[in-house]
């Protein structure tokens, strides 16, 4: 065994470090209710409510939520198929950006139609 290799006794610290690389709130959760959160969640004023609201949104498939007056979009992805662990990401819903994206798509389609004709 490599003398410099050390297997961690606390894998939660490794997960928290990984989650801290996200530039938005993120949670790793399992079906039993255990969670690991990143720095964005740890610094939130009402972190327990934010975590519960995000998990509930994923469980009810209502991915658009409002928390402390902000519109948020919650997404959930299985970390590994066959396990009960999920990555939950919470991003701010920017309506203006979304509307601009939709307008850009429509404009591209119109330009493509003009080029075809």
Q: What is the DSSP track for 26-84?
A: EEEEETTS-EEE-HHHHT-TTHHHHHHHHHHHHHHT--EEEETTEEEEEEEEESSTTSS
Q: pLDDT value at position 80?
A: 81
Joined together, the tokens standing for residue 61 give 């498939």
Q: What is the pLDDT of residue 2?
A: 61
Per residue of the chain (117 residues), give pLDDT as tens: 566 888 888 888 888 999 999 999 999 998 888 999 999 999 999 999 999 999 999 989 888 898 888 889 999 998 887 778 999 999 988 776 777 788 889 999 888 888 886
Burial 55-67 (b: 16+ CB within 10 A, else e): bebbeeeeeebeb
Six-digit token string for 115: 């080029």
Q: What is the pLDDT of residue 37?
A: 95
pLDDT of amino acid 28 = 94
pLDDT at 75: 92
Specify the pLDDT at position 43. Answer: 93
Which domains does the chain carry?
11-116 (3.30.450)
């Amino acid at each position: 065994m490599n003398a410099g290799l050390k297997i961690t006794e606390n894998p939660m610290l490794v997960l928290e470090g990984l989650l801290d690389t996200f530039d938005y709130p993120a949670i790793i959760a399992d079906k039993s209710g255990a969670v690991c959160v990143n720095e964005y969640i740890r610094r939130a004023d009402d972190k327990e409510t934010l975590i519960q609201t995000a998990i509930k949104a994923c469980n009810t498939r209502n991915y658009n939520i409002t928390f402390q007056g902000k519109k948020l979009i919650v997404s959930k992805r299985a970390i590994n198929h066959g396990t009960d662990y999920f990555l939950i990401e919470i991003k701010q819903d920017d309506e203006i950006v979304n509307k601009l994206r939709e307008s850009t798509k429509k404009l591209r389609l119109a330009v493509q139609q003009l080029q075809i004709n």
